[in-house]
Structure 1
Amino acid sequence: MKNFIVLMSHDMSDTQKNDAYENLEVTKIIEAPPEIKKIWGNIDPISDLDIKNLDKVILWINEISNEQDYILVQGEFGATFY
């Protein structure tokens, strides 16, 4: 069973979801919960990264993901790289 984990500040479109199911053969799409989306969507691209908040995001990913899962990450470059 492969999941498609989504870390973006906005929701995926139905077209994107259908594409993931059809082409990646995932069984479940998991979008970030509201508190994680809030952290991810409020990263200031000009100031230093708040590692404490990013660690919460990474903890969420580690808790729900498996080695065979796909993860889509879209956001501020520094946070995405971290």
Structure 2
Amino acid sequence: MYCYSDIEKSEACDKLGSKVEITRFKGLGEISPKEFKNFIGDSIRLDPVIINKETSVDDLLSFYMGKNTPDRQNFIIDNLKVDIDSA
């Protein structure tokens, strides 16, 4: 079971009982192939990445999956949006 918020985690723990094991992944690279199969399911939340004619696919893949951690971190911080209703 995958939870995407503290509320979901709390509800899942209540549903599953006292013997709950909680594991956290920082990124997809930390998920084993076996876990990845369970991770990708009907309930997964995905946001599309839309590219235009001026965008290089190589540059886009390098940005999202490359070793440019500071650039990616700054992008996330600059574009972070908080849903006040669920915060």
TM (norm. structure 2) is 0.31
Q: Would you tell me which structure has more strand in proportion to its own residues?
A: 1
